[in-house]
């Protein structure tokens, strides 16, 4: 639709300005603010094989490289402790965080010794939903998010996931086995693959309802310049003209009607109805910026958000190890967001979480959302985006949720471009490994 293309263009221009990374000589992150609650993001970049659409920092797994990397993650946590940080939550992303389960468990056990951890979330892949992994994760990880993407075997083959993780039927069975081990088992899905038909999407939705997971995310397909060639070669040209129709379908089938199986937690995260609150007071979601506006991040290729500044760690594992072992953090670049950038970020993130608090916005920025973001508010109002638009809050219609999805999708694409800038700085064998065919030599 025309409005989607206009909005995509606006956010693309915004992120190009906001997320332009500049080099930094800083050796440590700034310390914590008094009385602020923080989450720690931990990046484990190793995968058995690399997916064509992924822009996160990831490397083909080699034990001799991964083992010292985990040791340095633990050293970096100690640096944050020395800076005065405490954390109530950890999010382990990748890559595949569970790829060396003993190392992950040792790292999480140290974190619980150092900090006031209430809950841990971790990503994983379907081949790790087996008893040896589940037994070790039980009690250590409260929320496990498994990347399924689709149960359709032809799509799994296109994504090079069928041989790695099994058929859709096998993955479905593993989810049923794994769900009782965790407070929340999230199944992470993708919609609007170029070859995905409405029938395939409906079947994925029905299997989500039946599989026993407590939460699901249905994020739209997005990528960056660095992954475009491989994605086009393996998946085909993206089709954004039907994205709204697919979104309306999944939103209604999961959370619409008189007796829905799920309820909306964010624009594209859905919790099974009847779930209890989690340890931190709410059911967490994949996009941790919804619950924490500021968070330090550790590990090669991780991205930190602190006090309006985005810091990027080097994407070179060699440089990361050298930095940590010399007693400094591996910061390679940063970008400072201005007041307008921060207002737009707040606007997008709160609407993504389904409600913007107008009073909080005015208190934090000294101006109403109408005066601070007149163009954005005019666009959303003109296109029927708001279900509630009074003195206190904004909530969203179905169309408004979709427009917010477009903003979030494009912002995440912008973050991927930031990662591309960092990845482009790689040289030697690391560059060849990632920009070649993605296989081990």
Instruction: Work out the average pLDDT over 383-392.
Output: 98
User: Is residue 275 pLDDT above 80, yes or no?
Assistant: no
Instruction: Work out the average pLDDT over 352-364.
Output: 97
Instruction: Work out the average pLDDT over 420-434.
Output: 66
Distances (CA, A) of 20 to 267, 339, 418: 27, 16, 7
Task: Name the CATH code of domain 20-279+286-295 (choices 1.50.10.20, 3.80.30.20, 3.20.20.100, 2.40.50.140).
Answer: 3.80.30.20
User: Is residue 226 pLDDT above 60, yes or no?
Assistant: no
Instruction: Work out the average pLDDT over 303-324.
Output: 94
DSSP secondary structure, 274-290, as one string: TPPP-TTSS---S-GGG
User: Is residue 53 pLDDT above 70, yes or no?
Assistant: no
**HEC readout, 165-196:** HCCHHHHHHHHHHHHHHCCEEEEEEEECCCCC
Token pair for 101: 């389960």
Contact between 245 and 256 under an 8 Å Cβ cutoff? The reply is: no
Q: 90-136, pLDDT tens digit by residue?
A: 999 989 999 999 999 999 999 999 999 999 999 999 999 999 999 99
* Residue 238 pLDDT: 76
* Residue 395 pLDDT: 98
Q: 59-69, pLDDT tens digit by residue?
A: 889 999 999 99
User: Is residue 312 pLDDT above 80, yes or no?
Assistant: yes
Would the pTM count as exceeding 0.85? yes
Q: The sheet that has 215-220: what strands, in order across it?
A: 262-264, 269-272, 215-220, 184-191, 143-149, 119-124, 89-94, 39-44, 297-298
- Percent of all residues in the chain with a pLDDT value above 90, rounded to a whole number: 70
User: What residues does each domain of the chain span?
Assistant: 20-279+286-295
* Residue 18 pLDDT: 54
User: Is residue 140 pLDDT above 80, yes or no?
Assistant: yes
* Residue 1 pLDDT: 56
Q: 71-91, pLDDT tens digit by residue?
A: 999 999 999 999 999 999 999
**Does 439 or 268 have the greater pLDDT score?**
268
* Residue 409 pLDDT: 86
* Residue 51 pLDDT: 66
Q: 401-412, pLDDT tens digit by residue?
A: 999 999 988 887
* Residue 412 pLDDT: 78
* Residue 209 pLDDT: 97
CB under 8 Å, gap of 24 or more: what pairs does 161-168 form? Answer: 161/51, 164/48, 164/49, 164/125, 164/127, 165/125, 165/126, 165/127, 166/126, 166/127, 168/207
Q: 25-38, pLDDT tens digit by residue?
A: 999 999 999 999 99
* Residue 55 pLDDT: 63
């Amino acid at each position: 639709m025309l409005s989607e293309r206009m909005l995509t263009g606006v956010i693309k221009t915004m992120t190009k300005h906001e997320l332009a990374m500049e080099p930094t000589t800083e050796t440590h992150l700034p310390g914590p603010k008094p009385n602020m609650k923080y989450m720690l993001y931990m990046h484990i970049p190793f995968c058995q094989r690399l997916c064509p659409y992924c822009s996160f920092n990831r490397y083909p797994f080699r034990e001799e490289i991964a083992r010292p990397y985990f040791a340095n993650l633990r050293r970096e946590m100690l640096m944050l402790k020395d800076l005065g940080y405490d954390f109530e939550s950890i999010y382990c992303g990748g890559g595949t965080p569970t790829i060396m389960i003993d190392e992950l468990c040792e790292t999480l056990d140290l974190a619980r010794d150092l900090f006031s951890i209430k809950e841990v979330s971790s990503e994983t892949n379907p081949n790790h939903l087996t008893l040896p992994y589940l037994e070790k994760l039980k009690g250590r990880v409260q929320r496990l998010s498994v990347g399924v993407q689709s149960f359709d075997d032809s799509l799994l083959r296109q994504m090079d996931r069928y041989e790695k993780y099994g058929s859709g039927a096998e993955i479905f069975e593993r989810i049923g086995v794994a769900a009782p081990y965790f407070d929340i088992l999230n199944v992470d899905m993708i919609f609007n693959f170029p070859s995905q038909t409405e029938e395939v999407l409906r079947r994925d939705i029905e299997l989500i309802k039946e599989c026993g997971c407590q939460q699901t995310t249905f994020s739209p397909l997005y990528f960056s310049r660095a992954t475009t060639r491989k994605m086009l070669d393996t998946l085909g040209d993206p089709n954004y003209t039907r994205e709204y129709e697919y979104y309306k379908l999944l939103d209604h089938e999961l959370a619409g009607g008189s007796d829905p199986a799920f309820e909306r937690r964010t624009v594209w995260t859905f919790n099974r109805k009847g779930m209890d609150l989690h340890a931190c007071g709410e059911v967490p979601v994949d996009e941790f910026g919804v619950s924490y506006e500021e968070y330090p991040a550790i590990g090669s290729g991780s991205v930190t958000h602190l006090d309006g500044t985005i810091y990027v760690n080097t994407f070179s594992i060699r440089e990361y190890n050298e930095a940590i072992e010399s007693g400094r953090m591996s910061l390679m670049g940063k970008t400072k967001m201005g007041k307008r950038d921060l207002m737009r970020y707040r606007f997008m993130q709160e609407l993504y979480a389904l409600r913007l608090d107008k009073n909080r916005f005015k208190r934090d920025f000294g101006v109403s959302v109408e005066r601070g973001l007149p163009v954005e508010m005019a666009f959303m109002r003109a296109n029927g985006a708001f279900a509630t638009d009074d003195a206190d809050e904004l909530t969203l219609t179905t169309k408004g949720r979709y427009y917010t999805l477009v903003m979030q999708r494009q912002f995440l694409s912008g973050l991927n471009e930031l990662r591309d800038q960092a990845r482009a700085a790689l040289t030697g064998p690391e560059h060849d490994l990632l920009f070649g065919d993605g296989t081990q030599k």
